[in-house]
Amino acid sequence: MADRIEFNLNATGRAVDIEDEMSLLEVLRDSCGVISPKDGCSPQGQCGCCTVIVDGRAVVSCAVPAKSVAGKNVLTLEGFSELERDTFADSFIAAGG
């Protein structure tokens, strides 16, 4: 059975229909078109490729039920400024990531 949830994605209000067992990763990629969170190990949540920020806390979106973000703020890489994204990239390069 489909439910509808509302949440803020990168400071923009969103309303999406979800199935009971959908993960946040599935909603972000399939329903919202956000491609920065990657599916590296879904649903184990071990690799971190799908990490997003929910209400100020980093979470692995493949292991988070989509319904749990109703009314919350979700931030993905697309929500950061270009300068912030460049800083993250430079940091990964410097650390050999």
pLDDT tens string 27-38: 999 999 999 999
Compute the distance between CA of residue 87 and CA of residue 90 in angstroms, rounded to an integer: 5
pLDDT tens, residue by residue, 39-80: 999 988 889 899 999 999 999 999 999 999 999 999 999 999
The pLDDT score that the predictor gives to residue 63 is: 96
Contacts of 66 (CB under 8 A, 6+ apart): 5, 16, 18, 22, 23, 24, 26, 27
Half-sphere exposure of 41 (CA within 13 A, CB side): 9
Q: Domains in the chain, please, with CATH?
A: 2-94 (3.10.20.30)
DSSP state of 20: T
- pLDDT, the chain, mean: 94
